[in-house]
């Protein structure tokens, strides 16, 4: 395994759409292993491949209840809303309150290509949304909650 450099906001790659993974081979597994190590080293709860400069639909997550790998993830259900503070390893030192669904179901392949369905609430739901957004070139600063909404709380 090896640490990879995390791309910072301002680099145009972060605005690009990542491509679907078709080959579940050693090259993918190396990417996953490196992303895992890079995420933990940076004390992150999630990392998308584009953040290490690879435009593939690959995400690693650990919100504190176990490590997960999501390949070609698709959000299939969302319900409720949450407005919580969010940050990103590509925007060090910055955070903002975003508007996200409270509960999310995501369908994704594992490192061998097998499809699985995961459900997330709270931080995990936010993380599923935040990381799949990265695969479409979106960063959390594009999901900030409108001020009027925050003032009502």
Q: Is 50 in the site for Ni ion (CB under 5 A)?
A: no
Smallest gap from Cβ 88 to Ni ion, in A, equals 3
Q: Is 131 a catalytic residue?
A: yes
Rounded to whole angstroms, how far apart are CA atoms 81 and 5?
Answer: 33
Shortest Cβ distance from residue 89 to Ni ion (Å)?
A: 6
Is 88 among the residues that bind Ni ion (CB under 5 A)? yes
Positions 6 through 25 that interact with Ni ion (CB under 5 A): none
C-alpha torsion sign, points 7, 57, 17, 66: negative
Q: Check residue 32 for interaction with Ni ion (CB under 5 A).
A: no
Q: Which is nearer to Ni ion, 10 or 112 (CB)?
A: 10
Burial of 142 (0-12, 13-18, 19+ CB in 10 A): exposed
Q: Residue 88 half-sphere exposure, CB side, CA atoms within 13 Å?
A: 29
Residues 6+ apart with CB under 8 A from 23: none
**Residue closest to Ni ion, measured at CB:** 88
- Residues engaged in binding Ni ion (CB under 5 A): 88
Q: Which residues are known to be catalytic?
A: 131
């Amino acid at each position: 395994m090896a640490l990879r450099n995390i791309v910072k906001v301002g680099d145009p790659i972060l605005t690009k759409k990542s491509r679907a993974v078709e080959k579940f081979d050693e090259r993918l597994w190396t990417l996953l292993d490196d992303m895992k190590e890079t995420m933990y080293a940076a004390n992150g709860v999630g990392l998308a491949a584009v953040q290490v400069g690879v435009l593939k639909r690959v995400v690693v997550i650990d919100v504190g209840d176990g490590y997960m790998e999501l390949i070609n993830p698709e959000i299939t259900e969302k319900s409720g809303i949450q407005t919580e503070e969010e940050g990103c390893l590509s925007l060090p030192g910055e955070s903002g309150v975003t508007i996200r669904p409270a509960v999310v179901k995501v369908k994704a392949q594992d490192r061998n290509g097998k499809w699985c369905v995961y459900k997330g609430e709270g931080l995990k739901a936010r993380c599923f949304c935040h990381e799949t957004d990265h695969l479409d070139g979106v960063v959390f600063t594009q999901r900030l909650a409108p001020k009027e909404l925050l003032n009502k709380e």
